[in-house]
Amino acid sequence: MAISDLPPLDPEKGEWDEKALSRRDFLEAAVVFGTLAGAGAVAVSVPSMRFLVGKSLEPPVAQWVELGKVSDLSANDVTRVNYSVRGTDAWREVTKRGTVYVYSDDGGESFVALDGTCTHLGCIVQWHDDEQKYKCPCHAGFFTREGEVISGPPPRPLRELPVKTENGVVFAEI
């Protein structure tokens, strides 16, 4: 049954002319309207969902932060590097800031980079060279030079970051 087959509206009541509309016609019309409404809802909701989800389902793009030249990074000490990079989250462009600690266990042949974000509630830990440990100023969390938890509320070690060296410059993936 096509929509054009439906009986006209009763101009006085402003409703369907019930006498002219049999139960069978009514059910067929309901099926037609239901199908059209469902198709319309799908046509509207699919692009809307894509907009709402944005890029959140896409794999994140790796971002490499420059930590310094191999010749400038101390072969024995822990070096703190603060970074600020532009990137995108699911919907907008954002500035991502953080701190990386970098050190070497083999005299500068290779480097280890730790994310300075405390694994408890996200404060930035501070390296204390005299005590050879990181301290979190927020709730007294302590970590070894390698990032293992010594004491306090942090549930996990500091996150170790992938490191690469290109043309004598060390990078960490954040």
Task: Read off the tokens for 29.
Answer: 């019309």
- Region of 29-37, 92-100, 102-110, 133-141 interacting with ligand FES (CB under 6 A): 133-141
Query: Which one of 67, 112, 114, 136 is in contact with ligand FES (CB under 6 A)?
Result: 136
Nearer to ligand FES, 81 or 149 (CB): 149
Query: Which one of 99, 152, 157, 165 is in contact with ligand FES (CB under 6 A)?
Result: 152
Q: Considering the rule CB under 6 A, would residue 141 count as an interface residue with ligand FES? A: yes
Query: Which one of 55, 97, 139, 159 is in contact with ligand FES (CB under 6 A)?
Result: 139
Q: Considering the rule CB under 6 A, would residue 149 count as an interface residue with ligand FES? A: no
Helix (H), strand (E), coil (C) string for the chain: CCHHHCCCEECCCCEECCCCCCHHHHHHHHHHHHHHHHHHHHHHHHHHHHHHHCCCCCCCCCCEEEEEECCCCCCCCCEEEEEEEEEECCCCEEEEEEEEEEECCCCCCCCEEEECECCCCCCECEEECCCCEEEECCCCEEEECCCCEEECCCCCCCCEECEEEECCEEEEEC
Q: How many CB atoms lie within 10 A of CB 174?
A: 19
Q: According to CB under 6 A, which residues from 67 to 126 bind ligand FES? A: 118, 120-121, 123
Query: Which one of 98, 108, 153, 157 is in contact with ligand FES (CB under 6 A)?
Result: 153
- Region of 17-25, 26-34, 68-76, 137-145 interacting with ligand FES (CB under 6 A): 137-145
Nearer to ligand FES, 73 or 136 (CB): 136
Residues that bind ligand FES (CB under 6 A): 118, 120-121, 123, 136, 138-139, 141, 152-154
